Structure 1
Amino acid sequence: MSAEQILKEQIIKKAWEDETFKARLLSDPKGAIKEAFDVDIPEGLELTVVEESAKHYYLIIPQHPAEASAKSSDPSTQVEMW
């Protein structure tokens, strides 16, 4: 399992267990993750957190691999976790 996947699972688990953290994660994701896990999300990266429900499901379409590899030579787009 990748470090990114482990972190995502830790964030979800904490949100399920801690309503205060979940509320902050929904309103200020970068701040909540920094405070709880000491992980800095890069300034140029927008992070949106949404909560699924029984009647509302989100399908995430990842970035196309060709687009990702084209940007990989640009240092401003290289991030470890996100």
Structure 2
Amino acid sequence: MTTMVEKGVLQEQIIERAWNDAEFKRKLLADPRTAIQEAFNLDVPAAIQLTTLEETQSHFYLIIPPNPADSIKQQPLTEEIW
């Protein structure tokens, strides 16, 4: 099963790649599933909806992750990183 640490590491790798690779960033914003597959050889399961947003100096996003107590009650969708 995926741990929050593994998910966090992948997110950090994706963000760092976007900061350093303008073409990857462009693809990630336009089609995150394909960009991640091409750059990391990682297939995002079809059951996972994936949206990429870019914050700016004046526009921020507050992400509320799933409640860990809720995940205990449900079976994971996949054993992959997602």
Q: TM-score under structure 2 normalisation?
A: 0.84
What is the aligned partner in structure 2 of residue 64 from structure 1? 67
- Stretches of 4+ aligned residues off by more than 6 angstroms: none
Alpha-carbon distance, 1:6 to partner: 1.7
Number of residue pairs matched by the alignment: 79
Determine if contact 1:42/1:79 at 8 Å carries over to the other structure: no
After TM superposition, list the pairs within 5 Å mapping 1:2-81 onto structure 2: 2-72=5-75, 77-81=77-81
Alpha-carbon distance, 1:71 to partner: 1.6
Q: Distance in 2 between matches of 1:37 and 1:78?
A: 18
Q: Distance in 1 between matches of 2:64 and 2:41?
A: 27
Q: Distance in 1 between matches of 2:23 and 2:13?
A: 15
Q: TM-score under structure 1 normalisation?
A: 0.84
Secondary structure of 2:27's aligned partner: helix
Query: Which structure is higher in RCO with an 8 Å CA cutoff and minimum separation 6?
Result: 2
Secondary structure of 1:2's aligned partner: helix
Residue-by-residue CA offset, 1:18-69 (whole Å, 9 max, x unaligned): 1111010011101000000001111110011100001011111111223212
Alpha-carbon distance, 1:2 to partner: 2.4
Gaps of 5+ in 1: none
